[in-house]
Amino acid sequence: MFLSKYVSDVYYDMIMHEYEEDYLSQLDEEQFQKIYQIFIQKGFTYMEDIILRYLEIFELDEESVQHKLQELEKELGVNYVYIISNHLSLLGRIFVRQSHKKLT
Ordered by start, the domain boundaries in the chain are 27-94
CB 101 within 8 A of CB 21: no
Per-residue pLDDT of the chain (104 residues; tens, 9 = 90+): 899 999 999 999 999 999 999 999 999 999 999 999 999 999 999 999 999 999 999 999 999 999 999 999 999 999 999 999 999 999 987 765 545 565 44
Please choose, from the candidates 44, 49, 62, the residue with its C-alpha nearest in 3D space to the C-alpha of residue 14: 49
pTM of the model: 0.88
- For the chain, state the CA radius of gyration: 13
